[in-house]
Structure 1
C-alpha cells in the first residue's frame, strides 16, 4: 500500500477541497457585501473571511484532530449525534445547498443566453446538470482526478483572470458604507459569511476528503490527518483569494451596478463592463464549474454518510439525492434562499460550538457535561436568531448582546462553556476523590 502522496496528488486534493467549498453562495454574496461595505471594506471583509475561510479551515482541522465526525461527537448521546449529522446533511444536501447551487448555475450561467427562459428551460437544465453531477459523484475512486486535476484548474484560471482585471481596471471609486456596515462592519460581514454554509459543510466534507486520500492507497491515520489539514490549507488560500477579489469588485461597483438587486447581478454587470459579451461567457464558465464541483462534493458527502446508516449502497444514495436535488431546484432561486436563511442561522452556531469543544476537549474536566450543556445553549439561542430572520417577533430578547446582528447565541454559549468548566471541575474532583477512597 502506498504510504504517502506525491506533490501533484496533494495539490489535486487541495484543489478538490477548494472546489467543493466554492459554490453558489461564495460567488453571489461577497460582491453585494462589498458594495454595501464601501469605505469599511476591510473590516467587513475580515468578518466575512472569518466565517467564510477561517471557520471552514478550523473545522477541517477539528475533523482531523478528532478523527472524523464520530470522534467529534463521541461525548454526545449517539442518537443526538446521528440526528445532528442527518439534519446538517439534509440542509447542505438535497434541501437547500445543492439545489441552490444548481439554481445559481442556471440563473447566471445559462438563463442570460435564453431568449424566453421559463419553467421548461429550468427543468431541462436541472435534469442535465444533476445528471452530470450524478455521474461524477458515482466515481468515488476517481473523484480527486476528475475534480482536482481537471475541473478546478479551469475554474481557478478563470477566477484569476477576473481578479486581475478588477484590480487593474476598477469600474468605480469606493464610496461610503451603507446600512449595518456603517457602525459594525466586522459583525455584519461575519454574519453574511453564514450564507456560504462552508463551516457547516466542512464538518462533513472531511469524510469525502478522507475517502479520497484512502483511495490513493494511504491507510495510516496520522498521514490521513496530515493530508486532510494540507487540503484544508490549500482550499482556505483559494477561498481567501476569491473573496478578497469579489469584495473589491463589489466595493468598486456602486455606480455601474446601482440598480442590481443581488450579488449575482452586480457580478454580471461588472463582468459585462470589463469584457463585453465575452465576459458573460467567462462568467458562465466560472459559475457553472463552481456550482457543479460543489454539488458533486455535497452529493458525495451525503451519500457516503447515509450509506453508512442504511443498507442502501453509496451508488443508490447518489441516484436518489441527485433526483431529489433536481426536483427541489425547480422551486426557484428566490424561494429557496428565503427558506434556507432560518436553517443557516440555526446550524452555524451549533457547528461553531462543536468545533470549539473539539479543540479544548482535553482540558475539559467533564467533557460529556460540557458538550451537552454548551450544545443545548447554542441550539436554544440560535433558534432565536432563526426565528428573527423568519419574520417572527422576538423583540423580547433584544436585551441579549449582538441580538440586532443575528448573533444572540454568542454570549450565552460562551458563558455556558465557562460555567461548565468550573462546575465540571468540582464534579470531576469529587468523583476522583470517591474513587481514591
Structure 2
C-alpha cells in the first residue's frame, strides 16, 4: 500500500466533501465586516466549519457505522428522531440555498429572469438527475472542484498582492471570534460530516491487511491535509474580503461580494467562469442531498422505490418554494434551526471521539439532554422578545452569544464521569 498516495487521495476526497460551493459566499462578507479583526473571525469560522466536521470524520472512523450510530447511546428513539430532523433540515435549507446562490451568481447578473423561474427549472433538473441516479455528476464533480480551487487561489493571491487600499478599516463586530464561530454553522459541514462522512469512510478502499490503528492514522493525516486546504481557501477569502471591504456597496449580498472580488482580481472572464462553475457545483450538491435523503426514507419504508420517488418530489417542491428567496433570507431563517440542531450535533461528534470509558450510555444521555435544554433559549430568541428570556439567560455564561449550552454540557460531562469514577472506587 502506498501510504502517501492513499493519504493524498483520501485527503482530497474529504476536502471535496466539505468544500461546498454554497459555502464560498460566506467568508468574503465575514472579512468585509471583520476588517482588521479578520484573523479572530477566521479562527472562529475554522473551528465550526472545519475542525468540528473533521472530528465528525474521526468519529465515523471509530464507529464504522451510519448516522444512526451517532445517537444510539442516548436511545434508539432519539437517534431516529435526530436522523429525521437532520434530513428534513438538509432538504429545507442547504439544498434550496444552492438554487438561490446559483440565481444570484450565475443568472441574475446576466439574465432578467425571476428567482422563482430559476428555482423551478433548477429543481426540475435536480429531480431528473435524482430519479435517474446519473453518474455524470460524479464525473463532473471531479473536474469542478479542482477548477474552482484554481480560480479561488488566483483570486486570493492577486488580491493579496494588489489590494485597493494600504490598510484595512476597522470591523463592525463586537466579538469577532464568536461571529466567525456562529457563521461557521451556516456551512452545515458538521451535519454534512455526520450524514455522508460515514459513507465516505466506509467506502474507502482500505487494504484488508491494514490494522484499525493504521486506518485511523491514515484518516487523521488525510483530515489534516483537507483541513489545511480549507483553511487556505477560507482564510484567503476572509482576508480578501477585509482588504477589499471599501470597494463593496454597504448592503452588498454575500454572492455579490464574491462576484465583485472575482471581477476586481480576474476581470470579466474570470468572474463569469467562476459563476458558472459555482452554479454547476451547487447543482451537484443539491442532487447529492436529495438523493441521500430519498435513500434514507426508502430504507425506512422497506426499500420502497415509491418512497424514494415521493421523497424526491417533496424535496424538490420544498426546494422550489424556499430556493426562490435570496440567500440572505435563507441564511436568516436557517439560524433558528441551526441553533437547535448544531449544538446537539457538535456534542454527539465530541462524545463519539472520546474513549468509551469517558462516554458511556449515562454520559451520552446526560450531556445530550443538558445540551438540548440549554439550547432552547437560543432557539426561542428568534421568535420571542429577548426581554422575556432574560430571566433564563442572564445567569447562563455565554448565553448572550448564543453559546449558552457550551459550559453546562462540558460541566455535565466532567460531573457524570467524576461520579462514575467515585462509584467505582467505593
Q: Which of residues 300, 307, 322 is equivalent to 1:309?
A: 300
Please give the residue correspondences for 1:268-307 in structure 2 after superposition, counting only pairs within 5 Å: 268-307=259-298
- Does the residue aligned with 1:150 lie in a helix, a strand or coil? helix
1:416 is matched with which residue?
412
Mapped partners of 2:130, 2:211: distance in 1: 30
Contact 1:40–1:177 (CA<8 Å) still a contact in 2?
Answer: yes
2:337 is matched with which residue?
343
Cα displacement (A) at 1:343: 0.9
Contact 1:31–1:251 (CA<8 Å) still a contact in 2?
Answer: yes
Contact 2:7–2:221 (CA<8 Å) still a contact in 1?
Answer: yes
Q: Which of residues 325, 328, 332 is equivalent to 1:333?
A: 325
Mapped partners of 1:404, 1:293: distance in 2: 37
Give structure 2 stretches of 5+ with no counterpart: none
1:52 is matched with which residue?
49
1:164 is matched with which residue?
157
Contact 2:61–2:201 (CA<8 Å) still a contact in 1?
Answer: no
Cα displacement (A) at 1:134: 5.5
Query: TM-score normalised to the size of structure 2?
Result: 0.86
Task: Provide closer, same or farther for how the CA distance between residues 258 and 209 of structure 1 changes in structure 2, counting only shifts above 3 A.
Answer: same
Give structure 1 stretches of 5+ with no counterpart: 431-437
Q: Which of residues 345, 352, 363 is equivalent to 2:357?
A: 363
Please give the residue correspondences for 1:20-419 in structure 2 after superposition, counting only pairs within 5 Å: 20-68=17-65, 69-92=67-90, 94-132=91-129, 135=132, 137=133, 139=135, 146=139, 149-179=142-172, 181-182=173-174, 184-210=175-201, 212-213=203-204, 222=212, 228-229=219-220, 231-312=222-303, 319-331=309-321, 332-334=324-326, 335-364=329-358, 367-393=360-386, 394-396=389-391, 397-419=393-415
Mapped partners of 2:202, 2:307: distance in 1: 16
CA RMSD of aligned residues (A): 3.0
Task: Provide closer, same or farther for how the CA distance between residues 276 and 133 of structure 1 changes in structure 2, counting only shifts above 3 A.
Answer: farther
Matched residue count: 417
Mapped partners of 2:385, 2:209: distance in 1: 50
1:433 is matched with which residue?
none
Contact 2:61–2:198 (CA<8 Å) still a contact in 1?
Answer: no
Task: Provide closer, same or farther for how the CA distance between residues 428 and 293 of structure 1 changes in structure 2, counting only shifts above 3 A.
Answer: farther
Mapped partners of 1:109, 1:7: distance in 2: 38
Task: Provide closer, same or farther for how the CA distance between residues 178 and 109 of structure 1 changes in structure 2, counting only shifts above 3 A.
Answer: same
Contact 1:22–1:294 (CA<8 Å) still a contact in 2?
Answer: no
